[in-house]
A and B are shown apart, each in its own frame.
Chain A
Amino acid sequence: MIKLQDVYKEYTIGDSLLEILQNINLEIKKGEFISIIGPSGSGKSTLMYMMGLLDIPTKGKVLMNDVDTSKLSDEKLSRLRNEKIGFVFQQFNLINKFTVLENILLPTLYNPHTLDYDPQIKAITLLKRFGLDHRTHSYPNKISGGEQQRAAIARALILEPEIIFADEPTGNLDTKTGETILSLLEDLNKKEKITIVIVTHEAHIAEKTKRSISIQDGKIIK
């Protein structure tokens, strides 16, 4: 579903050229449960954001469902992110001034289509499923990290995406809570056939995925 062809990402800082990603060729198939592993600064997050259409390559192509995304307008890219992609971040990235429910519904505001389900009901179902029903009207900074991450996953799921990118999803959680978040993602892959891409620097997390891509100094090494 996502294909990267000869992708480079470079920054110039002052006089020096910083090569974040070099010659990346990668394909992620529909329904895969995959991890991208590498040390910090290896370019794994940049790679994830590139696939998530939040960043654009300096050179090369990112294809989504065989469409070259480099030719798409901001509006079309935003639409793709909105409808096909879900993000889960290490910092949870919920907006603190909105309640948990409002955060989960946020993507639906930017969706111009009429959905064939009521997003409100869907959000409440997700909250129940993730054991957050007592947190519906709480503010994110008033609940635990594990709860925040589950709320963030619920937000990623609200528009029924094809793929979820999770950037160090357990990085800010204790081991036990991290385990539940991982098994939740695993569950989504298994039961709902949602493609899951986990970015991590921890080998034991990468081991849980069906396929693992190692990245170092901006290059895929395995």
Chain B
Amino acid sequence: MKYYIFTILSATTNFRRNKLRTFLTSLGILIGVASVVLLISLGLGLKQYITDQFKGLGSNLIFIYPGKFLQGNSFRPGGGMLGGAEFDKSDVDSLKKSRYIAYVSPAFIKTIEISTTNKTEIGDLLASTEDVFPVLNLKMQYGRSYKKTDVDKRNKVIVIGPELAKKLFDDFEGALGEDIKIEDQRYKIIGISEAKGGGGLGGSNFDSFVYMPYTAGLSFNPDKKFFALYVSAKSEDVYELAKRDIQRILERRYESGDFSVLEQTDLLNVINSVFGAINTVLVMIGAISLIVGGIGIMNIMYVSVVERTKEIGIRRAVGATRNNILIQFLTEAVLLSLIGGIGGIIISIVFVLLINSYFPAQINILSIIIAFVVSTLIGIIFGVVPARKAANMSPIEAIRYE
């Protein structure tokens, strides 16, 4: 025990004597660990954010997107970008005829600029029908949602999310009835929705959306085409029947490969596989910097072994075995790597806490444990060769080294 404590103390003595060198050497590992932990945290946070959002949606939801997203049960990369069906109002009407379907909400989504008399903010527009509220399970906090008559009469009315309302107005109730300008058109705020939290449908937050009758926003969408259709089945019992009906109805108009009928779980799978792939690539990039950091440690350990040849000789003369010397240098390499690793973990935790109010990031205990283990392993892997060199030195040559 005394021996191990001294070995560690002896290593820290060396670090204290070479502060700058220690710092620079562990910096490589620090950057590597920080980037890996941070990327995992951001990835997990984003995934959680979107998953939470889905949980907040109405039940028995079915999503219809153009293009073919799934192949069997797995996600087909780029599926949504291959074009395919372009939905319009007639699709909404024909789907609504199905006796298994309760609501159909078409969706046109666009990033827009919203201005009051003295403020301008960026938000997302979701132009749809009155069905959007039951489908997305959106309740009003103040005012009312827009109705079928608003859609039919093309009333320039909007409902805004609470986060956007907070940015634009100091007082929610005062916001009701106010006029705001969206790209040169005036709209009246008739409602503010309840906070839902989480992320939008793969995009922004529901709480900062502008909800508008699609008929009032034709200047943004002159083709009257929709990016997606969100459908609510009448009950859980008819969910599968509703899906089949949708398939049948849409196939009258489109090729079966031109659209995808997805469940929440399908969509979550898609999101998971996309994030999985992105995360893997990012973590691999982080891992490369860990290897580079490891090489830095190896390099400096070699220098250290040469510099301390005489010390190795002295230790051998007073009774240190080869193993003692090996353990001594290995301990130093591992500690060097751990300093970087712990520094990286601390920096990523601080960073995650700092950005948490702007971006959903989560520190995951497992990633911290892995970072810890990985930095230990890097210390061992990159420290063992220099340590062996030290251990295998002939004591007599070492002690005579000048």
Contact = CB atoms under 8 A, between A and B. Distances in A.
Contact of A49 (B310, B321, B396): B396
Nearest to B317: A87
Contact of A83 (B6, B310, B319): B319
Given A109-B2, A109-B3, A110-B3, A95 B320 contact: no
Contact of A81 (B10, B13, B318, B322): B318
A87 B318 contact: yes
B196 interface: no
B311 interface: yes
B228 to A, nearest CB: 68
A75 B17 CA distance: 31
A74 B321 contact: yes
B185 interface: no
Contacts of A109: 2-3, 6
B144 interface: no
A29 interface: no
Given A55-B396, A97-B14, A75 B323 contact: yes
B87 to A, nearest CB: 75
A101 to B, nearest CB: 13
Contacts, number: 66
Contacts of A46: 396
**What's the interface size class on A, roughly?**
20 to 34
A82 B318 contact: yes
Given A98-B13, A109-B6, A93 B319 contact: no
Contacts of A107: 318-319
Nearest to B2: A109
A111 interface: yes
A155 interface: yes
Interface string B313-338: 11111111111100000000000000
Contacts of A18: none
Contact of A54 (B13, B322, B395): B395
A78 interface: yes
B324 A110 contact: yes
B319 A95 contact: no
Interface string B286-325: 0000000000000000000000001101111111111110
Most B CB within 10 A of own CB, among A75, A78, A89, A95: A78
Interface residues of B, number: 25
A72 B190 CA distance: 93
Contacts of A81: 316-319
Interface in B361-402: 394-396, 399
Contacts of A94: 314
Interface string A95-131: 1011000000011011100000000000000000000
Nearest to B17: A97
A46 B394 CA distance: 13
Most A CB within 10 A of own CB, among B310, B314, B318: B318
A164 to B, nearest CB: 12
A54 B316 contact: yes
A79 interface: yes
Contact of A95 (B2, B6, B314, B321): B314
Nearest to B311: A95
B318 A75 contact: no
A52 B319 CA distance: 11
A98 to B, nearest CB: 7
A111 B314 contact: no
Most A CB within 10 A of own CB, among B2, B6, B317, B321: B317
Given A97-B14, A97-B17, A106 B318 contact: yes
Interface in A16-55: 46, 49, 52, 54-55
B310 A78 contact: no
Given A54-B395, A97-B13, A155 B318 contact: yes
Task: Pick the 7 closest A-B CB pairs, nearest first.
Answer: A82-B319, A110-B319, A107-B318, A78-B321, A55-B396, A54-B395, A93-B314
Interface of B: 2-3, 6, 10, 13-14, 17, 310-311, 313-324, 394-396, 399
Interface of A: 46, 49, 52, 54-55, 74-75, 78-79, 81-83, 87, 89, 93-95, 97-98, 106-107, 109-111, 155, 159
27 contacts: A54-B395, A54-B399, A55-B396, A74-B322, A75-B321, A78-B320, A78-B324, A79-B321, A81-B316, A81-B318, A82-B319, A87-B317, A93-B310, A93-B314, A93-B317, A95-B314, A95-B315, A98-B10, A106-B314, A106-B315, A106-B318, A107-B318, A107-B319, A109-B2, A110-B315, A110-B320, A110-B324
